Amino acid sequence: MYLGLKEMRHEKLRYTLLSGVLLLIALVVFMLAGLANGLSNGNRQAVDTWQAQTVYLNKNANQTLSASQLKLADKSKLTGNQVAPLATLAGTLRTTSNSKKTTTNALATSRNSFLMPKIVSGHAINGKNQILISAGLKAKGYKIGQKVRLGTTTKTVKIVGTYATNTYMISPTVYTDIATLNRLKGAPITSGKQQTINGFVTKKSQFKTSHHGDLEKISINTFINKLPGYSAEQLTLNTMIYFLFVIALAIIGIFMFVLTLQKQPLFGVLKVQGIGTKHILAALLTQSVAMALIGIVLGLGITVGLAQLMPAGMPFVINWSQYGLYSLALLIAAVLGALLSWRTVANIDPAVAIG
């Protein structure tokens, strides 16, 4: 400890530079993690608020909601107490004058279903052609009582309530009932059990019999992973993060190794004086952990600062437990990096210091 810290104090430039490199790596890790979280959240927030367990889709839909088509009547094939029909429409929300247009994802379910979001202001849907909008849309200027158009039709719907910030596949959500959505879609059947929907979302349910036609049961996690682009996006960002851990390890390892080679004569002198491999290695470990800590703490600070400055449209979510885990991974990389010089330190022959 003593040796390691005193050397850092004396060789400020050298160790500041490496701490700086580690800071940059930590910063990139935290930024990527924040973006991965933000994108993940933007994709799945609506799904997460459902707190559902299983989803039923058409088995030919490749587990993708928008590709699945079922009928309301298919509900009879399922048993369970909270089974909600779900229909979606990726559509533009626009004012009747077309002065404002926003890409949204409209989600429809039955009026009393557990999927319906908790109303923050206004009231729940209690009649035809009513919609609820999420906070993000309210912030854009859409108001309760306003008549708006959704999708490409000229039919108007009325905003009757708002709920908390909510997105699905990066777009803010709009909720309505099944019949209204089918009217907006221009579906041939807009009432009764023969209406088309995309799937059923449930908390606890199962198939009534083994004859369940085209229905396929998938877990909510599978459903999320099958959201278009979701897995690819997460995998890409996470792979980048994992590579950064390896890069951090390599940088610390190489730097410490080169320093060790440079300091071989000094280490020889230390060994002559009875200060052995253990103490020299402890000094290297102290230094790499100290540099990693400096990098991580500053990296976290800058990340939090940057998060405040980011434009609202940038999906960025800080997940502290994940940041804790990644910080730990960077620390472990630093420790492993320092340990790479173990053999070199152990093999330094103290006799070279004499004669």
Partner 1 sequence: MTKPVLALQHITKQFGHGHTAVKALTDANFEVAPGQFVAIIGPSGSGKSTFLTIAAGLQTPTNGQVLLNGTELATQSEKARLAYRFNEIGFILQSSNLIPFLTVTEQLKLVDKMAKRPFQKDKAKTLLAELALSEVVDAYPNELSGGERQRVAIVRALYNDPSVILADEPTASLDTPRSIDVVERLAKEAHQHQKAIVMVTHDQRLIGNCDVVYRIEDGVMTRQ
Can you tell me the distance from the alpha carbon of 20 to that of 345, in angstroms, rounded to the nearest whole number?
A: 25
Structure tokens at 268: 């020889």
DSSP 196: E
Residue 8 CB, nearest approach to partner 1 (Å): 9
Please check whether residue 175 is in contact with residue 50, taking contact to mean a CB–CB distance below 8 angstroms: no
Of 4 and 199, which has the nearer Cβ to partner 1? 4
Residue 31 CB, nearest approach to partner 1 (Å): 35
Question: Of 110-118, 144-152, 263-271, 296-304, which segment contacts partner 1 by CB under 8 A?
Answer: 263-271
Is residue 80 at the binding interface for partner 1, with CB under 8 A as the rule? no
Count interface residues toward partner 1 (CB under 8 A).
23
Can you tell me the distance from the alpha carbon of 18 to that of 21, in angstroms, rounded to the nearest whole number?
A: 5
Is residue 31 at the binding interface for partner 1, with CB under 8 A as the rule? no
Strands (E), 125-282: 130-134, 147-150, 156-163, 167-168, 171-177, 196-197, 199-202, 205-207, 215-219
Is residue 120 at the binding interface for partner 1, with CB under 8 A as the rule? no
Residue 297 CB, nearest approach to partner 1 (Å): 24
What residues contact 165, with CB distance under 8 A and at least 6 apart?
45, 134, 135, 136, 172
Can you tell me the distance from the alpha carbon of 130 to that of 181, in angstroms, rounded to the nearest whole number?
A: 10
Name the β-bridge partners of 122: 161
Contacts (CB under 8 A) with partner 1, residues 1-30: 2-3, 6-7, 9-11
What residues contact 9, with CB distance under 8 A and at least 6 apart?
none
Residue 278 CB, nearest approach to partner 1 (Å): 9
Of 7 and 177, which has the nearer Cβ to partner 1? 7
Is residue 266 at the binding interface for partner 1, with CB under 8 A as the rule? yes
Taking residues 269 to 288 in sequence order and writing x for each that binds partner 1 by CB under 8 A, - otherwise, the string is xxxxxxxx--x---------
Residue 346 CB, nearest approach to partner 1 (Å): 11
Interface residues with partner 1 (CB under 8 A)? Answer: 2-3, 6-7, 9-11, 266, 269-276, 279, 349-351, 353-355
